[in-house]
Amino acid sequence: MKKIGIFFYGDLFPTDEGNKRLTREILTYLARDAEFHVSLVLVSDRKIDRELYRTICNDLLVLPAPTSSKLLHGLNYVFGKSGIPVIQGLVYALYFRFRLRKWFPQLDHILLNYIHWHLMIPGAALRKTTVITHDLQFFRSMSFSKIENRVLRAIQEYLLRKSELHCLRKFGHVAVLADYECDILKKSGFPMEKVVKIGLPLTPVSPRETDVDDTRYDFVMIAGNSLQNELGLKYFIDRIAMRLPHFPRIAVAGALSGSAYCRSLFDRWPEQIALLGFVEDVKELYAQSKLAIGTLVKGSGIKVKNVEAMMNGKCVVGTAKGFEGIPISEASCVFVTDEDNKTALIQRLLDDRELRNRYGAEARRKLETAFAPENCLAGLLGILKQ
C-alpha cells in the first residue's frame, strides 16, 4: 500500500474556492483506490469537523496556523509591514518542517498545494513530491503587475521565471492544470518528463431541476471581492451591457457584491442591478438567470466560477482570460474581444430561450468530458503508483 501525504493550508469545507475543489476531488478519487493510504495535513485555527473528512482520507492531522504563535505572529507583523515576504515565508516554512519532521519519512509520495510552501519539504523528500502549480506563479504575478515600463516588466518577468523554474526542477513532478502552462514550461526548456497535466477534475452535479423561468435576471456573476473580478465586471458593463439595446438586469452574488464599485452600479441603475451577497443555493440563482458573466481581463489559472456556471448549464459570456484552460467552442459560449463584443449574438441569446439552453447544454457536455476525474487524474495516479 502506498502512503500518500497531502498538505493543505486551510479547511476544505465549505468548498468555495478553486484550490479547495481541486484538493477535494483528488482526495475523493484516491479514496476509491484501495492501493492508497492517504494522510491529510490541514493548517487551520478554525474548529475542523472531522466527520466531513472520514470518507476522503485515512488520517487527518490538524496543525494550528503559524499566526497562532505569538512569536510567529510578531514576525509576521514585522516582515509583513517591512515588505519582506521572503523572510516571512522562510520562517513559516521552517515552522512546518519542524512540526512535520516525523511525517515526511513515513510517506511514499507527497502532494504539495502551491509552490510557495516548497521550503517546508526537506531536500531528500522533494524528489518524492509532486507540486500542484494552480497556475505558474510568475505568469500570475505578471498578470497583476503594475509596472508599465516595458523594459522593467521584461526584467521582472525574467527574474520571476528564472527563480520559479529553478525551484520547480527540485520536485519529482509538477502537476499543471492547463495546456498553456505546459507550453510555457516547454518553451522555457523545462524537462517535460516531470510534467503531468491534470486539468480541473469535477464530479458532475446535476443543475437544479426547477420550473422557475430563467427570466428574473439577464446576467449573473458570482465572484469574490478581488481586483480581477471587479475589473472583469467593469469590462462587461462598459463593453457589453452599455451597448445592448436596453441595459440588462444583472445579479451580482458573493463578496464582490459588497464592493464600492458594485454599490456605485446599484446607485446608478437601482432597478437593474441586484446585489445579493452570499447565496446559499447557487443552482437556484443560475436557474433564474439567462447568461453568466466571465469577462475577466486580469488574473490567471482556470476560472472556477466560469466552470461552475457552465456545469449548471449556463452559456458564459467571456474573454480569453476568462476561458483560460477551459474547453470551449462557438456553440457553447460567447467569446468576446476588444474588437468584437458580440452584442448581436448576446441579444439573440437573451431573446431566445431555446438557443441559450442549447449553448448551455453543449458547454456542460464539453466540461463533463474534459474534466471527468478519470480523464484528469489518470496521469497523476500513474505517478503515485510508481
CA-CA distance, 185 to 17, in Å (whole number)?
A: 25
pLDDT tier for residue 206 given thresholds of 50, 70 and 90: low
Query: What percent of the chain lies above the pLDDT cut of 90?
Result: 53
Question: Could you tell me the three cell numbers for 263?
Answer: 454599490
DSSP-derived secondary structure letter, 17: S
How does pLDDT run across 19-50, given as a tens digit for each residue?
Answer: 888 899 999 999 989 999 999 999 888 889 99
Residue ranges per structural domain of the chain: 2-63+100-201+372-384, 217-370
Cα torsion through 140, 142, 145, 151, rounded to 10: 170
What is the three-class DSSP state of 271? coil
pLDDT tier for residue 274 given thresholds of 50, 70 and 90: very high
CATH number for the domain formed by residue range(s) 2-63+100-201+372-384: 3.40.50.2000
Can you say whether the dihedral through the CA atoms of 285, 286, 292, 297 is positive or negative?
Answer: positive
pTM: 0.80
Indicate the class that CATH gives domain 217-370. Answer: alpha beta
Question: Could you tell me the three cell numbers for 173?
Answer: 513532478
For residue 181, the model assigns a pLDDT of 86
Nearest to 8 by CA among 138, 137, 110: 110
DSSP 144-191: T-----HHHHHHHHHHHHHHHHHHHTTSSEEEESSHHHHHHHHHTT--
Nearest to 373 by CA among 198, 114, 206: 198
CA atoms within 13 A on the CB side of 98: 7
CA-CA distance, 117 to 256, in Å (whole number)?
A: 28
**Is 217-370 in the same CATH topology as 2-63+100-201+372-384?**
yes
Residue with cell 451580482: 252
How does pLDDT run across 168-194, given as a tens digit for each residue?
Answer: 999 999 999 888 889 889 998 999 999
How does pLDDT run across 146-163, given as a tens digit for each residue?
Answer: 787 889 888 888 888 888
